[in-house]
Chain A
């Protein structure tokens, strides 16, 4: 092993981190893909309703459609801001 391999192994991590992150995000986006066209709109309306009561970020509402056998599950995740 040459001394350059030390630096290489550092770099190696950056490409493999990229690959892992991509695999996760692509899998999630594919899962939503077959879903109904109204999902994005549903998401933005829910966001509007939440904002009537609490000030939250644009990405506070996460929506995901999962399939379990014949059953479709709509998973809704709402992140509220930390309390001061």
Chain B
């Protein structure tokens, strides 16, 4: 039986797809059979971030409509063993996702995989709700910024009340916070909410803090999940997050400014 993990945020553009790709690749590298499912119907992007956009023949909606089998639609990653991608459709509208259809596909994937990572679209409409509905665990991607934190809190409300687990009276969806695009410099200057601030407001466990990093853009340009850029700060922060996700305890890095240069020393701190 697979664990179903939704990567969600409410607010758009905060780093869900970047995170889905990184966490999925990290879990697969750790030896777990992992599939990434793009729920962003109409605006698919996971295939681009994973660098497999030219290999998409059939998508999630084709499988739901039984126009293709899962085996035909699943794309095997060429870099990491155990990693597969199920792309979203670019042409259909969101209503093409049905609860029955999603459930059928997730049930079939559950037989073959250890982890199913659902990359949610932004907002709290149908696609986002369906991405959350069947989840066992949720990674709440949040930027240290007011509207993102507020939207994350709304999403927490939905996870607690409008999921299969809630409907069946089962133990709640496990919720973990991933704070991304974090800038220690701006936090130190008092311009940005700190990790403590956000933790205090949302009151859920912290999975990791991903720094604002040029490496993310570079990796997406190349179609490589940033976690495979092993030397980069963001890549290492995602590696730590995956290790924590798998139960390991690791200290949080990249929360402080780098050692001060001459400029910093001159002007004191």
Contacts and interface: CB of A to CB of B under 8 A. Distances in A.
B48 interface: no
Contact of A22 (B154, B188, B191, B201): B201
B255 interface: no
Which of B161, B190, B193: most chain A CB closer than 10 A?
B190
Contact of B268 (A2, A7, A9, A21): A2
A21 B146 contact: yes
Contact of B153 (A4, A8, A21, A26): A26
Interface string A1-42: 111110111111111101101110110011001000000000
B108 interface: no
B233 to A, nearest CB: 22
Given A1-B268, A2-B267, A23-B201, A18 B154 contact: no
Nearest to A14: B191
Interface residues on A, range: 20 to 34
Interface residues of B, number: 22
Contacts of B153: 26, 29-30
Contacts of A10: 190
Interface string A40-64: 0000000000000000000000000
Interface in B170-209: 187-194, 197, 200-201
Contacts of A3: 267
A68 B25 CA distance: 49
Nearest to A23: B201
B261 interface: no
Chain A at the B interface: SS class: helix
B154 A15 contact: no
Contacts, number: 58
A14 B268 contact: no
A15 B193 contact: yes
Contacts of B197: 15, 18-19
Interface in B122-160: 145-146, 149-150, 153-154, 157
A6 B189 CA distance: 11
Contact of B150 (A1, A12, A14, A25): A25
Given A2-B269, A19-B200, A22-B150, 13 more contacts: A4-B268, A5-B268, A8-B190, A10-B190, A11-B189, A15-B187, A15-B190, A15-B192, A18-B145, A26-B150, A29-B154, A30-B153, A33-B161
5 contacts: A15-B187, A15-B194, A16-B190, A30-B157, A33-B157
